[in-house]
Amino acid sequence: MNAGDPQGADVIVVGAGNAALCAAISAAETGASVLVLERAPQGNRGGNSAFSGGAFRVTYDGIGDIRKLVPDLSQEDVDSTDFGTYPRDRFFDELMALSGFKASMPLVETVVDASLDTLLWMRSNGVRFLPIYGRQTYRVEGRHVFWGGLTIEASGGGLGLVEALFARAERLGIRIAYDTRLEDLMVEDGTVAGVVALRRGKRVQLRAGAVVLGAGGFHANAAWRASYLGNGWDMAKVRGSRYNTGDAIRIAMDHGARAGGHWSGCHGVFYDANAPEFGDIALLDQQKNYFTLGIVVNSRGERFIDEGEDFRNYTYSRMGAEMLRQPGGYGWQIFDAQAADLLPQEYRVKHATRVHGDTIEDLVGKLEGVDRARLLRTVSEYNAAIVRDKPFNPGSKDGRCTRGLAIDKSNWALALEQGPFVAYEVTTGITCTFGGLSIDTEGRVQSVEGQSLPGLFAAGELVGGLYFTKYPGGAGLTSGAVFGRIAGRAAALCSRSP
């Protein structure tokens, strides 16, 4: 829909990322007429999902399930790859454990139990999935070995994902109104009956039998970040969409929706120090998540984390917060030649802020804003503390560690001794926020009184209750798709009820 004012529909979906589009497709398949409201112009559509790597965390029992998701997988790939398994109990346990066992158990169970079926449904709707070779595998004894429970991605990454979903939505006759911002909900006799929207400066009322909110969290709202996440978070760079400012959350709460989840928590990563303030779809791969292969230091030249605590999939989402606590909020990831050879695409892009040196002294001498003498001592002490009788194996938690340092490295402790060396300057990038609206397992938004708000549903990053402090990589797109599909169907059925 590129011109004129949109009309109402059985179901109105607010937002146009992965969760919102899954909701729209699900509602249309259930027989509802659907209107999608996208705040962004058409050229910037897709929400945070378009900026993602497109990875989905999903349960699978082995190669049989992988082949269901990737039917064109070659026999050569099968023979040369250890896909392992990712059973239901492991997915559930990791989601709960990384939340500090604070996550809503019913919501977590819903995501886990529906993950494979939802991805198969997405594939039937035009999303092509591939194994994540490179980013999630290492070559071990001649075979590709997947690590960290993350195996599947959408072809074309996040942008490919949303483009496939848009194509399916358009084939289903779903109307999409761009440049349309949610301004309020229409509520009649306690039931949501549509929305008030601002479309290219004009206020319009759009009636609906049900509304699904899928407009993302508040990561792009600097004032809310400072208020809810704490001091300094207003200075973080925004990894994804500039349009996720929490409007839908605020409006729903104004109508009695209950806040849920970890409002002072977020997904924040190591991010290129010179990246733009907001995500730029033409400059992706700004995150720097493979710190496990080297060391990370602050402006004092000191290490401040255990880089090898676990696979990066389970620790990367809290590294932005760790970086923000350091003097000046910036630092460096440092690798030698043997580790640099293992770094993926996000480190090889032309726009990465990096410095090279033939020797460690040469490298450190080129870094600005760091205590160089202390950094050289840090490297020397780190190298000397490595337990070298354990072989390095990036495909498993190898136990190759340091001993005797103030902060030891638990795994993958490669000595920084083979030139040339490289350092990447990093700061904090925020991906999404963890606080949002409370929903039940049918995607129905819950009220402060503990009841469902009639006619109002939600999915995606504006849902609270799934993540606390840490976040397992790939779970966000999966949970968005699961609850998007559920909420869309429930909204369509609700729109028909008398």
Question: What confidence score (pLDDT) does residue 7 get?
Answer: 84
In this structure, is residue 400 part of a structural domain? yes
Question: Do 339 and 371 belong to one domain?
Answer: yes
Query: Is 152 within the bounds of a domain?
Result: yes
**Which residues on adjacent β-strands are paired with residue 9?**
208
> Could you tell me the pLDDT band of residue 44, with boundaries at 50, 70 and 90?
very high
Q: Are residues 360 and 397 in the same domain?
A: yes
90-98 long-range contacts (CB < 8 A, ≥24 apart) are: 90/149, 91/57, 91/58, 91/59, 91/115, 91/149, 94/149, 94/314, 94/472, 95/466, 95/472, 95/475, 98/314, 98/467, 98/468, 98/469, 98/470, 98/471, 98/472
In this structure, what token pair is assigned to residue 413? 């402790």
**173 contacts: CB under 8 Å, gap ≥ 6:** 28, 33
The distance between the two most distant Cα atoms of the chain, rounded to a whole number of Å, is 75
**Domain-located, residue 237:** no
Domain stops at, among 428, 446, 464: 428
* pLDDT tens readout for residues 409-418: 999 999 999 9
Q: Extract the tokens encoding 241.
A: 């969409």
Residues 197 and 287 in one domain: no
Question: How wide is the angle at C-alpha 231 spanned by C-alphas 228 and 236, nearest 5°?
Answer: 85
Does residue 3 surpass a pLDDT of 90? no
Task: Express each pLDDT in 300-310 by its tens digit.
Answer: 999 999 999 99
Map residue 419 onto helix, strand or coil: coil
- The last residue of a domain, from among 428, 462, 484: 428
Range of the domain at 453: 9-218+438-496
The amino acid sitting at 103 is: A
Q: pLDDT above 90 covers what percent of the chain?
A: 94
Residues 337 and 196 occupy one common structural domain? no
Structure tokens at 260: 């849920």
Domain contains 307: yes
pLDDT for res 211: 98
| pLDDT at residue number 141 | 84
Instruction: Output the CA–CA distances (angstroms, integers) from residue 197 to 181, 331, 445, 456, in the order listed.
Output: 5, 43, 20, 16
Q: Per the structure, how many domains does the chain have?
A: 2
The average pLDDT across 413-425 equals 97
Q: How far apart are CA 350 and CA 368, in angstroms?
A: 20
DSSP codes joined into one string, 234-254: GGSEE-S-TT-SSHHHHHHHH
pLDDT for residue 291 is more than 50: yes
Mean per-residue pLDDT, 27-36: 98
β-strand 331-335 against 295-298: which pairing, if any?
A: antiparallel
Q: Based on the fold, state whether residues 382 and 331 are members of the same structural domain.
A: yes
More confident residue, 162 or 148: 162
Does 175 fall in a domain? yes
Based on the domain organization, do 47 and 181 belong to the same domain?
yes
Residue 175 pLDDT: 97
179 shares a domain with 41: yes
Asked whether the beta carbons of 140 and 129 are under 8 A apart, the reply is: no
Instruction: Give the model's pLDDT for residue 385.
Output: 98
Cα(84)–Cα(107) distance, rounded to whole angstroms? 26
Percentages (nearest 5) of helix, strand, coil residues in the chain: 35, 25, 40
Q: Is 64 a residue whose pLDDT tops 70?
A: yes
Task: Give CA angle at 226 (222, 231), nearest 5°.
Answer: 135
User: How is residue 261 written in tokens?
Assistant: 């989840």
Same-domain check for residues 389 and 320: yes
CATH assignment at residue 481: 3.50.50.60
203 has which bridge partners? 198
Q: How many residues does the chain have?
A: 498
Residues 64 and 175 in one domain: yes
State the burial class of residue 205 (Cβ atoms within 10 Å of its Cβ: 0-12, 13-18, 19+): middle
- Angstrom distance (rounded) from CA 112 to CA 279: 30
Reported as a single tens digit per residue, the pLDDT across 70-79 is 999 999 999 9
Judgement on whether residues 379 and 463 belong to the same structural domain of the protein = no
Is there a domain that residue 232 lies in? no
Query: Given a cut of 70, is residue 167 above it in pLDDT?
Result: yes
- Residue closest to 212 by CA, chosen among 244, 180, 248: 248
Q: Is the pLDDT of residue 2 over 50?
A: no
- Of 385, 408, 428, the position where a domain reaches its end is 428
Please work out, in degrees rounded to the nearest 5, the angle formed at the alpha carbon of residue 69 by the alpha carbons of 131 and 135: 15
Distance CA 433, CA 238 (A): 11
In a domain, residue 162? The reply is yes
In angstroms, the first-to-last Cα distance of the chain is: 30
Tell whether 417 and 470 lie within a shared domain.
no
pLDDT (average), residues 44-56: 96
Nearest to 427, CA basis, from 349, 331, 343, 334: 331
What number of helices (H) and strands (E) belong to the chain?
Answer: 14, 20
Tell me, yes or no, whether 20 and 121 share the same domain: yes
Looking at residues 412-441, what average pLDDT do you find?
A: 97
Residue 155 lies in a domain: yes
- For residue 316, CA distances in Å to 161, 163, 288, 289, 454 come to 22, 27, 9, 6, 38
Helix (H) or strand (E) holding 79: helix 75-79
In this structure, what CATH number is given to the domain that contains residue 339? 3.90.700.10
Q: Which residue, chain included where needed, has tokens 């496939």?
A: 164
pLDDT at residue 150 above 50?
A: yes
User: Whole-angstrom Cα distance, residue 48 to residue 16?
Assistant: 9
By the 8 A CB rule, do 27 and 11 touch? yes
